[in-house]
Amino acid sequence: MLFFLTYDKSCGIDHMYILNEIKIYEKSLNPEFCQEVLEKIIFYNDSCTPVIEILDCG
């Protein structure tokens, strides 16, 4: 059970971190930064909820 509590906290922190990075990207519109954030979103969505919408870096 402790594993799941740690896992959930990690997902919550990751979720907040990624949302902050999305805000930074929306201000800069840097395509390289977008790709980095996109990779983090995909990794997060594979193991956590709620799912974060995929960015359009094109």
Q: pTM value?
A: 0.81
**Is residue 56's pLDDT more than 80?**
yes
The runs of H, that is alpha helices, within the chain are: 2-28, 31-47
- Read off the pLDDT band of 4 (50, 70, 90): very low
Q: pLDDT at position 2, please?
A: 43
Which two tokens mark 42?
């995909």
Q: Domain limits of the chain?
A: 12-47
Query: pLDDT digit string (tens) for 9-51?
Result: 689 999 999 999 999 999 999 999 999 999 999 999 999 989 9
